[in-house]
Structure 1
């Protein structure tokens, strides 16, 4: 199974980019973030014509997550991250595909720091950690995948000293990411590239992509039940260079069959 995550940054405006990438790379399962489209504006027909089933949770103008699959039925588990009934942001979608639980997330950015947006981010992470711990206890094949909006380490950011007071790199957020891994989750990309500065995001400003001044924000974490199946993975960096592409690049891994 080849599973990927892609912050599409506006699914309707960047639909040609998404369809081209799906056609060229042929992932089996795709988790999308930042759809920026209400529920009834999801381009289901185009996705189906590309060979994928889909479930999605839209939201007008921002947020939004989706899971695509060409492996068969997608069984939705929940589209609400437990722990706050008043939180109506479309940031979480959980489903079962081929006996694997897929947790697709778009974690809050949190900027500016300090402030209420950062407080919301930290509260969201704590809720997410509780759900992640439940999945570990269930001892099932599970994947936490998406745009975490967290730069885990110095290796994951160009010129880290410039990011110390950015919510993406604040020590509080990095500490929570590290505690996620301590639950038993494997950071698959870092496992595959232990010493390399690999990035998944390049700003549109200051020729960041051309200078490779990037960040690693998009992660695929594997539960102990599925981690031994990891074969390979990578970042489709070239997609970031396509015309009218997202500021994120797709990230993918391949798992050997059971």
Structure 2
């Protein structure tokens, strides 16, 4: 199985690029974030014509997540248990949930497409929301792997966190001053690892970013961030035999500000010799 995650920054604006990438790179499962559309606005026909089934969750022109798969998907789930909501100025636990999480099972792998809240600034209510959201995700992960230790679980998507200094190339991000690099955010990311997940890409791709801001020539200067991840449980991580960050997708006409992150899985212990591995 070849699994990819990509914050596409509007699926309608980039559908030809997205579907073309999926077909050309032989992607079996593609998790997308920031699709920025309602279900009736999603360009389903192009995906179906290329041989993909799609499950999605979108509420408006913001956020939105989806999974496209060549194989049928089962156990589709919108939102994880305990996921908090957000509404500026709203107090209490009943804030409306945003379109930030969808899961499906494909070929025995439980795949989540996640768009973690940005945080905005350290003194913004969205930052507290981000930390609460990550705390709930950690609880869900820990509980799930405690009851199903043999589950091949993948949390994929835009986490809006740079876990280490090596993941930061943008000079405007400063620990203690800006989001994405604050100690509480990094601690929340580490908590996911401590809950039983592993970063399945960095061991195979030791350098590289996944996001470059559109402003200030960030991409030509390679002042990027690594904020897009494929985190996997032990059964999932053990099956990863290749990985890639597709930097070239940041080039060309009207690209997303993120690029795809891909892993190859050998789920049955026999490598597929019909296509090249990615490293």
Question: TM-score w.r.t. structure 1 length?
Answer: 0.95
Tell me whether 248-257 or 84-93 shows the greater mean CA deviation: 84-93
SS of alignment partner, residue 145 of structure 2: helix
Aligned counterparts of 1:80 and 1:256: Cα–Cα separation in 2: 28
Question: Contact between 1:154 and 1:160, CA under 8 Å: does it hold in 2?
Answer: no
Q: Mark the runs of 5 or more structure 1 residues left unpaired by the alignment.
A: none
Cα offset, 1:61, TM superposition: 1.2
Runs of 4+ in 1 over 6 A off after TM superposition: none
Q: Which residues of 2 match residues 111-150 of structure 1 at below 5 A?
A: 111-137=120-146, 138-139=148-149, 140-150=151-161
TM-superposed CA distance for 1:159, in Å, is 5.1
Q: Distance in 2 between matches of 1:208 and 1:18?
A: 22
Aligned pair partner of 2:217 in 204, 207, 218: 207
CA deviations on 1:146-202 (whole Å, 9 max, x unpaired) are 111111100001156743222211110001101111122110112213xx3310001
CA distance in 2 between partners of 1:119 and 1:186 (Å): 25
CA distance in 2, matches of 1:217, 1:162: 13
Q: Which residue of 1 aligns with 2:162?
A: 151
Name the SS for the 2:5 alignment partner.
strand
Q: For the residues of structure 2 that align with 1:162 and 1:252, how far apart are their CA atoms?
A: 26
CA–CA distance in structure 2, aligned partners of residues 159 and 40 of structure 1 = 37
Q: Which consecutive residues of structure 2, in runs of 5 or more, have no partner in the other structure?
A: 85-93, 269-279
Q: Deviations over 1:58-105 (max 9, x none)?
A: 1211100000101x2101331022224533200000111111111110
Q: Distance in 2 between matches of 1:201 and 1:127?
A: 25
**Alignment partner of 1:228 is 2:227:** no
Mapping 1:1-258, distance limit 5 Å = 1-70=1-70, 72-83=71-82, 84=84, 86-137=95-146, 138-139=148-149, 140-158=151-169, 162-164=173-175, 165-193=177-205, 196-258=206-268
Q: Is the Cα–Cα contact under 8 Å of residues 187 and 222 in structure 1 kept in the other structure?
A: yes
CA-CA distance at 1:118 after TM superposition: 0.2
- The 3-state SS of whatever aligns with 1:6 is strand
Q: Between Structure 1 and Structure 2, how many residues are aligned?
A: 255
Higher helix content, 1 or 2? 1
Q: Is the 8 A contact 1:135 1:142 kept in 2?
A: no
User: 2: CA distance between counterparts of 1:145 and 1:156?
Assistant: 17
Task: Look at both structures and tell me which one has the larger radius of gyration over its CA atoms.
Answer: 2
Q: TM-score if structure 2 supplies the norm length?
A: 0.88
